Chain A
Amino acid sequence: MTWKAPRPYANPYVAGVCLGLVLLGAYAVAGRGLGASGGFAAAGAGRWNDWVFVELAGVVAGGLMSSILARRWQLTIDRGAGVSSSARLFSAAGGGFAMGVGAVFARGCTSGQALTGGALLSVGSWLFIAGAFGSAYAFAWPVRKFWR
């Protein structure tokens, strides 16, 4: 048995069009778009039969299957070259905490607001996109050491 290298990632435009078709399928079949932060909120409230929670369980399953088939599944900590594992775990959890708070304020995240509401041209979703990307670029320079 020979070790095989992970497969290269898909073309981003092709992956994006596929993701758009998944979102369109969700509108057509389920009458709603995609979500992620809503699934976390449902889990926190013990609502295990919540639509977004079940969808998020599917995201975990889909990501797992895809990574195994593409030979990308690996027990590791992705981080900048000069960042220790423990520092990376703290920055991931800390950044995650801020995103959780932001998603409660905004009633959704990159999935439920930016993608789902963005494609439906919702004003609040576009304000969320502008706020999130604007803020991420504004803070990119101060936190650049996290990625070096």
Chain B
Amino acid sequence: MTDSLAAAFVIGVAFGWTLERAGLGNAPKLARQFYLTDLTVFKVMFSALVTAMLGAFWLGRLGVIDLSTVYFPETFIVPQLLGGLIFGLGFVVCGLCPGTSCVSAATGRGDGVAAVAGIFMGIVIAGLAAPGLEPFFSSTARDVFTLPDVFSLPYGVVVLAVVVLALSGFAIAERLEVRA
């Protein structure tokens, strides 16, 4: 229990440290992602996603980690799509997300503190409304449902497709930044 919380804190320190180093504690920098003049958010997110995806795939295949013991987020199609749409509106207005707002606040930024307060209020108020909305929140449930399941393709093929997609995205991102 205490060991697991110590690990949580250490993992969090590394997470916050990397976000700050990448410049993701700076809201105007993040927001430039959505005006296509600075694609740091996309580059950091997708190189992180690809690294963790390849690591999980290969370490799982080599038997170093047992992926069946890793918690997989469950899929709820409509609530997660709608949640994403609401989240995206907040993201472009605020310029920070819940993780980066904590970094922004920790680095002395008042807008980061305001964002943290707003996110907290949104989560608490939506959480209070949650019992009434429970039928909706639990609708279109698919349990653990992955892209290989959707496309009926082997895990490795989807991993390769995501890598190709990310590399193409990086190439486009570099061109957009040169133009901007």
Residues B150 and A95 in contact, CB atoms below 8 Å apart: no
Residues A92 and B83 in contact, CB atoms below 8 Å apart: no
**Residues on the A chain within 8 Å of B106, using CB:** 59-61, 63-64, 67
Residues B35 and A104 in contact, CB atoms below 8 Å apart: no
Name the interface residues of A15-47: CB closer than 8 Å to any CB of B: 15-34, 36-37, 39-41, 43-45
Q: How many A-B residue pairs have CB under 8 A?
A: 505
Q: How many residues of A are counted as interface, with CB atoms below 8 angstroms from the partner's CB atoms? A: 117
CA distance A12 to B21 in the complex (A): 9
Q: Given A59-B103, A95-B90, A67 and B25 touching (CB < 8 A)?
A: yes
Which of B102, B104, B110, B150 has a CB less than 8 Å from the CB of A85?
Answer: B110
Residues A23 and B86 in contact, CB atoms below 8 Å apart: no
**Residues on the A chain within 8 Å of B98, using CB:** 36-37, 39-40, 99-100, 103, 109-111
Minimum Cβ distance to chain B for residue A42 (Å)? 10
Q: How many residues of B are counted as interface, with CB atoms below 8 angstroms from the partner's CB atoms? A: 117
**Residues on the B chain within 8 Å of A124, using CB:** 73-77, 80, 142, 145
A-B contact pairs, 19 of them (CB 8 A): A13-B43, A13-B47, A19-B47, A24-B52, A54-B9, A58-B13, A62-B12, A65-B13, A67-B106, A77-B110, A95-B95, A99-B87, A103-B123, A104-B126, A106-B79, A107-B73, A124-B76, A124-B145, A147-B31
Which of B32, B40, B93, B100 has a CB less than 8 Å from the CB of A146?
Answer: B93
**Residues on the B chain within 8 Å of A61, using CB:** 9, 12-13, 16, 106
CA distance A58 to B28 in the complex (A): 24
CA distance A74 to B105 in the complex (A): 10
Name the interface residues of B97-128: CB closer than 8 Å to any CB of A: 97-112, 114-127
**Residues on the B chain within 8 Å of A66, using CB:** 16-17, 20-21
Give the nearest-CB partner of A43 in chain B.
Answer: B120
Q: Given A24-B55, A110-B97, A139-B88, A117 and B114 touching (CB < 8 A)?
A: no
* Contact of A2 with B by CB under 8 A: no
Give the nearest-CB partner of A112 in chain B.
Answer: B73
CA distance A42 to B179 in the complex (A): 44
Which of A52, A70, A101, A136 has a CB less than 8 Å from the CB of B8?
Answer: A52
Residues B110 and A140 in contact, CB atoms below 8 Å apart: no
